[in-house]
Amino acid sequence: MMRGLVFVLLAVTADVSPGAQAQTAPAPAAEGTKTGGLYGIVADYDALQRAADPDFRARQQGRAATSWGDVSREAVLADATAREALAARLSALGSLSPEDALNRDILLAVLEADLVEARHDLARIPFTGDWGFHMRPIFAAPRTRLTSIADAEAWIARLRDVPRYFGDQITNMRRGVDTGFTAHPDPLANTIDQIAEQAVVRPVQSPLYAPFLSLPDHIPSTERVRLREEGLAATATAIAAYGELLDFLEYEYAASARTGTGLNSLPGGAEAYNDLIAVYTTRPELTPAEVHRLGQEQVAQIRAEMEAVLTEIGFEGDFAQFLDYLRTDRQFYARTPQELLSRAKEISARLEAILPDYFNTLPRTRFGVRPVPPSIAPGFTTARYLQGDPETGEEGTYLVNTYRLDQRPLYELPALSAHEAVPGHHLQIALAQEMRGVPAFRRNYYATAFGEGWALYAEKLAGEAGIYITPYEEFGALSYQMWRACRLVADTGIHLYGWTREEAEACFLENTALAPLNVRTEVTRYIGWPGQATAYKIGEITISQLRAEAETELGDAFDIRAFHDVVLGQGSMPLSLLERRVQGWVAAQQAPAANASAP
């Protein structure tokens, strides 16, 4: 299990945060010795996951987690050795059925992504500025339901484990200081602000204590009193750990923060960046330089489309003046947080209504719209999706950032909602969680290029469905496409070419309608989260190209709902495997026609 930077990043996912783990189920029964070898490896992988991930282990055992896992260097290396052995066993397997070959190839991709952690010791920088280990307790708390004494005691144990968990992270960061592998001051400043919010709160007002406020009545009153007292003391212990972490970052770590923006300024950073690009894009053949060039091409193409919309609107002024108009005119911004949330809910409802026109299969799991917690909102991204749990009935969550409303334009909200909710992240992830007849790791796996590529494709699909009502919303959707194109340029500019923050921000400020605060927050994220931002556009380009090829090959026989079912029907996977799957589907659709025309 990845525990440092890559654990934080790949488990989340920039716009996808870790909620409850997907449900587990027994692997399909082995059929003979050929598949028995594969599923023996799958069983060993599940055992490794149980040993490494307390959430995964607790879910399989039907109980609540009591710790945050072992993030020590020794544990990471031991885990990596075990994963390397599993990868070798997978690679040695002989001929497999198509279904088993897919399981093998996806698991190999999972293991390779995991191994990046140990290979480059990325645990030395366990936060991004946008996310980090310190947020795990804060996000776990509101999703923790204390329905029994055992549940409450497990949460108390987990709160008491925060000092040990944070202490191990500090040890890893000290190793980063000793080896010159440290974070940049900008994501560090965001992280310090987030931690400071938790370090000063009174225990009874902490979100960590909130689960104890709703203990059910069936727990005897004397036990409820005891659990709340112990919970309050455990919360105080966790808050003290936040204080110690804050002191370490402010008075020890900050003095050693790196001066260069990119990974290329760190020892071994260039090699680490190459591997991260390969992991996030699932395109190991793409070099960072090629990603940069692709970004430049996409920027030019989308800019031409934006200029066409500007002509349609009839704005009297140049492109820069139009961007200034969009960023400053009050008509484009909500007046209250509730107005922003209400608009997000209304748009999400309209998006749900179009789903039957584009999908045969829809998830049972629902989703809700909620604000980003105020304590982390200032440095948090515009929105994020938290997955639900089909086993418990917990719905997914589309988080909307209501901080600084003058930086949250309404003309971008339809595209944002399509990305985070439906037909984007919620649809894709919930369908994967609800898959049956596949090994558990398939439901848990999140290939960034697949998931974020799909969500970006979903923004385009919303346009096809007529969700963008005004030219301003159409421009906002194009601005979001440009945002992801500029990511290709800026991320590689920072970590390959050593660009300054100002150079990285230029693409967004000159070519998108993104608010300046959003641009600054995003570039901080790219500095602290190397490679992840490149996955979006590369994934979307792949899915769009596969659709265009299928439409050309099948002509009038092309069925958009069937195509989408093929793309999403087997869950997340590397883009090369998605290509293989879609091309196989196209060939299968053509076969009956070819047979029918044979003499």
What is the full DSSP assignment across 344-379? HHHHHHHHHHHGGGT-S---S--EEEEEPPTTTGGG
For residues 352, 458, 139, 185, the Cα torsion angle rounded to the nearest 10 degrees is: -150
User: Has this prediction a pTM greater than 0.85?
Assistant: yes
Token pair 């309404």 is found at: 410
Q: 400 phi and psi, to 5 degrees?
A: -115, 130
Structure tokens at 204: 């009874």
Query: CA-CA distance, 143 to 132, in Å (whole number)?
Result: 18
143 Cβ neighbours under 8 A, 6+ residues apart: 19, 20, 386, 394
Q: Which residue type, as a one-letter code, is found at position 53? A: D
Which strands make up the sheet holding 396-400, listed edge to edge? Answer: 16-17, 383-386, 396-400, 367-371
Q: Is 395:366 a contact under the CB 8 Å cutoff?
A: yes
Domain ranges, ordered by start, for the chain = 5-183+185-257, 278-540
Query: CA-CA distance, 481 to 419, in Å (whole number)?
Result: 11
**Alpha-carbon Rg for the chain in angstroms:** 24
* DSSP code for 496: T
Strand blocks (E) in 4-80: 16-17
- Taking the mean position of all CA atoms in its chain, how far away is CA 533? 10
The string of DSSP codes covering 141-167 is GGG----SHHHHHHHHHHHHHHHHHHH
Strands 383-386 and 367-371: unpaired
233 Cβ neighbours under 8 A, 6+ residues apart: 203
Residue 571 backbone zone (phi > 0: left; psi -120 to 50: alpha; other: beta) = left
H or E element at residue 383:
strand 383-386
The candidate with the shortest Cα–Cα distance to 234, out of 300, 137, 331, is 137
118 Cβ neighbours under 8 A, 6+ residues apart: 76, 77, 79, 80
- Taking the mean position of all CA atoms in its chain, how far away is CA 365? 19
- List for the chain the helix, strand, coil content (%; round to 5): 70, 5, 30
Query: CA-CA distance, 379 to 372, in Å (whole number)?
Result: 11
pLDDT value for 410: 97
Query: CA-CA distance, 490 to 508, in Å (whole number)?
Result: 9
Query: CA-CA distance, 562 to 553, in Å (whole number)?
Result: 15
Q: 370 phi and psi, to 5 degrees?
A: -140, 160
Query: Which neighbouring-strand residues pair with 370?
Result: 399
Distances (CA, A) of 583 to 96, 355, 438, 543, 597: 19, 24, 22, 12, 21
Q: Is 407:517 a contact under the CB 8 Å cutoff?
A: yes
3-state secondary structure of 135: helix
Structure tokens at 69: 């896992």
Token pair 């409820």 is found at: 224
Query: CA-CA distance, 426 to 459, in Å (whole number)?
Result: 13
pLDDT value for 10: 35
| pLDDT tens for each residue of 87-106 | 999 999 999 999 999 999 99
Q: Is 138:208 a contact under the CB 8 Å cutoff?
A: yes
Distances (CA, A) of 75 to 70, 265, 272: 6, 28, 20
Residues of the chain below pLDDT 70: 1-36, 592-599
Q: Is 208:294 a contact under the CB 8 Å cutoff?
A: no
Strands 396-400 and 367-371: parallel
pLDDT value for 358: 98
pLDDT value for 594: 55
Query: CA-CA distance, 40 to 38, in Å (whole number)?
Result: 5
Distances (CA, A) of 233 to 66, 156, 160, 229, 417: 16, 9, 9, 6, 40
Structure tokens at 238: 């966790």
Structure tokens at 123: 């645990």
Query: CA-CA distance, 200 to 212, in Å (whole number)?
Result: 20
Query: CA-CA distance, 526 to 277, in Å (whole number)?
Result: 12
3-state secondary structure of 15: coil
